[in-house]
Amino acid sequence: MESSTTPGGRTRREATRQKLYEAAVTLIAEQGFSATTVDEIAERAGVAKGTVYYNFASKSVLFEELLRHGVGLLTASLREAAERTAREGGGKVDALDAMIRAGLVFIDRYPSFTQLYVAELWRTNRAWQSTLMVVRQEAVAVVEDVLREGVDNGEFSDEIDVPLTAAALVGMVLVAALDWQAFQPQRSLDDVHSALSRLLQGRVSGRR
């Protein structure tokens, strides 16, 4: 393994993998997993075909690692939003609101990955299904932690179903963001965040 680093501090191999992830996610979003070839991924990434196999044993392994990488970035952004809110003295509702925004920012930055991730959640015959379930749970668990802390400190009702509520919040962000990008692209990220924030805080009915 090469040890030289790029100016950004990543190893050269990490930089190459990032190129392959970006090429793969774009191509698979455009034409599907089966129709995408390793040759096309290599060409789009600007590397030799052998470089793909040096980094990943197969196209399926590349896609599995792509899921790990992408959901890992999402999970890290959600966790950072919660931790930043805590450092600033905010409550758990504030933390969830910050996590909603962080999720929207991630989806806005990586729309092709998000489309693939949501599509794969509904498939059950993929080799990477178990990996997908693991990384999904890692993202949802960050939200579960905030909900449980809110229940423990009395900010949330102890009657809420924490796992289901966490999954619902993550799902709300994913679906709303994809709808925004596909059908309401004229809206700003602030518009979408404001609407979801109102749902979170129970201010949809207009009651004070």
Structure tokens at 23: 């090429």
Q: Whose CA is closest to 17, among 25, 180, 153?
A: 25
Q: Is residue 145 over pLDDT 60?
A: yes
Q: Is residue 131 over pLDDT 80?
A: yes
**Residue 41 near residue 104, CB atoms below 8 Å:** no
The Cα–Cα gap between 168 and 70 comes to 20
Structure tokens at 133: 């379930």
**Residue 135 near residue 68, CB atoms below 8 Å:** yes
Provide the pLDDT for residue 101: 97
Structure tokens at 72: 């890992």
Burial 166-187 (b: 16+ CB within 10 A, else e): bbebbeebbebbeebbeeeeee
Confidence of residue 6 (pLDDT cuts 50, 70, 90): very low
Q: Is residue 125 over pLDDT 80?
A: no
Structure tokens at 151: 């229940």
Identity of residue 132: L
The Cα–Cα gap between 38 and 167 comes to 34
Model pLDDT for residues 81-116, shown as the tens digit of each residue: 999 999 999 999 999 999 999 999 999 999 888 888
Please tell me the pTM assigned to this model.
Answer: 0.85
Structure tokens at 58: 């197969």
Confidence of residue 1 (pLDDT cuts 50, 70, 90): very low
Provide the pLDDT for residue 34: 86
Model pLDDT for residues 48-86, shown as the tens digit of each residue: 999 999 999 999 899 999 999 999 999 999 999 999 999
Q: Whose CA is closest to 99, among 133, 159, 149, 65?
A: 149
Q: Is residue 130 over pLDDT 90?
A: no
The Cα–Cα gap between 141 and 144 comes to 5
Summary mean pLDDT of the chain: 89
pLDDT (mean) for 149-153: 95
**Residue 37 near residue 30, CB atoms below 8 Å:** no
The Cα–Cα gap between 100 and 200 comes to 9
193 CB burial (10 A radius; 0-12, 13-18, 19+): buried
